[in-house]
Structure 1
């Protein structure tokens, strides 16, 4: 296995305190996203909503998230990093507080959208800065950062279970207030971001951009398109397992409690996997890590067809899928440093992949039945593996031809 490409270490972007605060910020965005679902029973009672209407809260949050990624990407490089992150934390705090105190459902949806704007800005801003701010350690640091998102995603529903869904406003308010101390730690974030280098070691301004009408520009557009495909599909697998694992396990003979526990273990393994891969990413290239991850999750999904192995296989999917999102971003930045918006595009695409996964998988399952869930997801996972192998060859050829 080839060692990861070493590049000259950039100027430090974060102090140690700012790194800790950033991880705390990811705990908050993970918890906030995960609070909507468990709050649905009380939202329906309070506002007189149907199940589909209550589900619009999370949808508004995701729409705001995509808008936040694209909006703050337009300001990236023009506005200081501290202002971008500060505005994101304030928007998320205001939106969460507004959702908690909303007098009617229309106001709550607007507040969820505002919270999503801040969510998207934090998600994009910190992922982008971590992907270029730590030199060859960026992949490891990104995995640690995104592992804290998983901690928040586990924490949010746990707190709802402890205090009861009827007290969801107090939790939304608490998480809104928890954003404010993080503003004080933004002094530890460098305002000006170092320029990334590509796989050849060249600075971004020496390479043709993706819009250039040259063979290199066309090749770069292809690389970006396949990266987007990888991100959309792997998030589809992630959301598909999380959404359909309980139904599949119950269909093959497990009780509702056992199925719910197995699904919780799946999400837990995603968090554990990101912590575990951090030291591995210091020794092996992003290409190797993602290739092994895609192959592993495909194999686990195929094993999930065996009822006795299914809960353990789904846990394995969580472990293998964990590194893909954070590990791909530094690889993308090296492969396409001129494509300044590439990071925003793939992060926004990953959010859209999560939104689209539900109806797309639902339609496929209508045709084939619930027992086919592992095979459907394995086919999507195999496509991720094919995309990774193509990207490995394409970026290697580009590096060798430079």
Structure 2
């Protein structure tokens, strides 16, 4: 379960150093784009005369496009090169961002948000998929570095809107369009078509075991993203209910997201010594303990920050484990990335139903149940992958 990763020869890497840097910039970009819609709502309402619900459709269309982009680029990846996949993804984001910034009416803006989401999904899928195989023994570490840059962008986006003002949202989206256009060329040059190494030895052989393992990964991702989105959505409400001020509650939620970014950098050296499945088991256990501690008012903000730290490595590290466990299941990463969106979209409102029945004070208990299920799914996956490898 432990081991030291060996360096990958440059000839066997999918990415040159400049291409790896450009890929990280691409993840800063998609993090910024996703985080711009919410802070821009006041400006959108003023510009187009929208209700709050109507203004929120921009992000919904972006996410809808994201799921469609993941599935569409997965479907055509075998017929186009890695460079073409990344160039098309960045190109769609460039056109969509520019269209949203310049839209003359709200239907046009929504169409542009969907188009931007298509590119977003392509880059999210493409870079996660390629990084999971493109750096040999360092792929798990590099996946965490890549996804940490998404968090950097997600923090920068609201800061930019706060600095410019919500009415200046076209400038923020316009800047993203320019960066995406630059990445059409800079983000795809230096990316190889394929890596010379074959799939790792000692992995599954297909058949019924393959389907059980894939279903296990789908469940793991749905549950983890459900916890991630639900903590971000309900933490401030819970903290205010137990007696914290709105300012403290909002600040604690920001710290939660910052810890998710920091955690992906912190885990990088750990991935060089321990297997992905051991890391994920520890993360699931840590999340569950922290959510139980959130029941204690005096430590609740710190406990939620701990959840952010433990949940941070799950998404990227799980992709590395998936690729090793199911190398014969082509594009399995696309299915788990798409499925993870189900958890992010469905969990917060479903949790709201439970809160209506049990009260706001039950938030940590409900989240603990989700996290506990994630821990059980992780342990079950460890047994399944060991069995399929034997």
**Are the aligned partners of 2:95 and 2:115 in contact in 1 as well (CA < 8 Å)?**
yes
**Are the aligned partners of 2:294 and 2:364 in contact in 1 as well (CA < 8 Å)?**
yes
Mapped to 2, the partners of 1:4 and 1:117 lie a distance apart of 38
Mapped to 2, the partners of 1:361 and 1:195 lie a distance apart of 44
The reply on whether 1:300 has 2:302 as its aligned counterpart is: no
Q: Report what 1:200 is aligned to.
A: 202
Q: Report what 1:33 is aligned to.
A: 34
After superposition, give the CA deviation of every residue in 1:318-368 in whole Å (9 maximum; x if it has no partner): 000000000001111111111113100000111222111221111111111
Mapped to 2, the partners of 1:348 and 1:6 lie a distance apart of 31
Secondary structure of the residue aligned to 1:308 is helix
Q: Report what 1:69 is aligned to.
A: 70
Q: List aligned pairs for 1:106-117, cutoff 5 A.
A: 106-117=107-118
What RMSD in Å do the two structures reach over aligned CA positions? 1.6
> How far is the alpha carbon of 1:6 from its aligned partner?
7.7
**Are the aligned partners of 2:203 and 2:326 in contact in 1 as well (CA < 8 Å)?**
no
After superposition, give the CA deviation of every residue in 1:293-331 in whole Å (9 maximum; x if it has no partner): 000011000000111100000000000000000000111
Mapped to 2, the partners of 1:262 and 1:196 lie a distance apart of 45
**Are the aligned partners of 2:7 and 2:138 in contact in 1 as well (CA < 8 Å)?**
no
> How far is the alpha carbon of 1:132 from its aligned partner?
0.3
Give the stretch that moved more between structures: 142-151 or 327-336.
327-336
Q: Report what 2:2 is aligned to.
A: 2
Q: Report what 1:214 is aligned to.
A: none
Q: Report what 1:190 is aligned to.
A: 192
**Are the aligned partners of 2:87 and 2:185 in contact in 1 as well (CA < 8 Å)?**
no
Mapped to 2, the partners of 1:195 and 1:71 lie a distance apart of 27
Q: Report what 1:92 is aligned to.
A: 93
Mapped to 1, the partners of 2:234 and 2:42 lie a distance apart of 20
> How far is the alpha carbon of 1:192 from its aligned partner?
2.8
Q: Report what 2:273 is aligned to.
A: 283
Secondary structure of the residue aligned to 2:22 is helix
Q: Report what 2:23 is aligned to.
A: 22
> How far is the alpha carbon of 1:54 from its aligned partner?
1.2
Mapped to 2, the partners of 1:161 and 1:187 lie a distance apart of 34
Question: Which structure 1 segments of 5+ residues have no match?
Answer: 209-216
Question: Which structure 2 segments of 5+ residues have no match?
Answer: none
Secondary structure of the residue aligned to 1:2 is coil
Is the alpha carbon distance of 1:228 and 1:286 closer, same or farther for their aligned partners in structure 2, counting shifts above 3 Å? Answer: same
> How far is the alpha carbon of 1:193 from its aligned partner?
4.6
After superposition, give the CA deviation of every residue in 1:192-243 in whole Å (9 maximum; x if it has no partner): 35565245068xxxx43xxxxxxxx111111101100110110010000111
Mapped to 2, the partners of 1:6 and 1:199 lie a distance apart of 15
Mapped to 1, the partners of 2:7 and 2:362 lie a distance apart of 45
378, 381, 385: which one pairs with 1:391? 381
> How far is the alpha carbon of 1:150 from its aligned partner?
0.2
**Are the aligned partners of 1:96 and 1:175 in contact in 2 as well (CA < 8 Å)?**
yes
**TM-score using structure 1 length:** 0.93
Mapped to 1, the partners of 2:342 and 2:198 lie a distance apart of 26
Is the alpha carbon distance of 1:194 and 1:48 closer, same or farther for their aligned partners in structure 2, counting shifts above 3 Å? Answer: farther
Q: Report what 1:347 is aligned to.
A: 337
Mapped to 2, the partners of 1:251 and 1:147 lie a distance apart of 31
Q: Structure 1 segments of 4 or more deviating over 4 A?
A: 4-10, 193-196
Give the stretch that moved more between structures: 360-369 or 122-131.
360-369
The reply on whether 1:373 has 2:373 as its aligned counterpart is: no
Q: Report what 2:260 is aligned to.
A: 270
Mapped to 2, the partners of 1:305 and 1:238 lie a distance apart of 17
The reply on whether 1:310 has 2:305 as its aligned counterpart is: no
After superposition, give the CA deviation of every residue in 1:54-75 in whole Å (9 maximum; x if it has no partner): 1111110001000100110111
Mapped to 2, the partners of 1:26 and 1:386 lie a distance apart of 31
Mapped to 2, the partners of 1:330 and 1:295 lie a distance apart of 20
After superposition, give the CA deviation of every residue in 1:130-175 in whole Å (9 maximum; x if it has no partner): 0001111100000000000000000001111111111111100001
Q: Report what 1:57 is aligned to.
A: 58
Mapped to 2, the partners of 1:171 and 1:243 lie a distance apart of 24
Give the stretch that moved more between structures: 250-259 or 187-196.
187-196
Mapped to 1, the partners of 2:34 and 2:28 lie a distance apart of 10
After superposition, give the CA deviation of every residue in 1:259-308 in whole Å (9 maximum; x if it has no partner): 11000000000000000001100100000100000000110000001111
Secondary structure of the residue aligned to 2:337 is helix
Q: Report what 2:175 is aligned to.
A: 174
> How far is the alpha carbon of 1:8 from its aligned partner?
8.3
Number of residues of Structure 1 aligned to a counterpart in Structure 2? 388
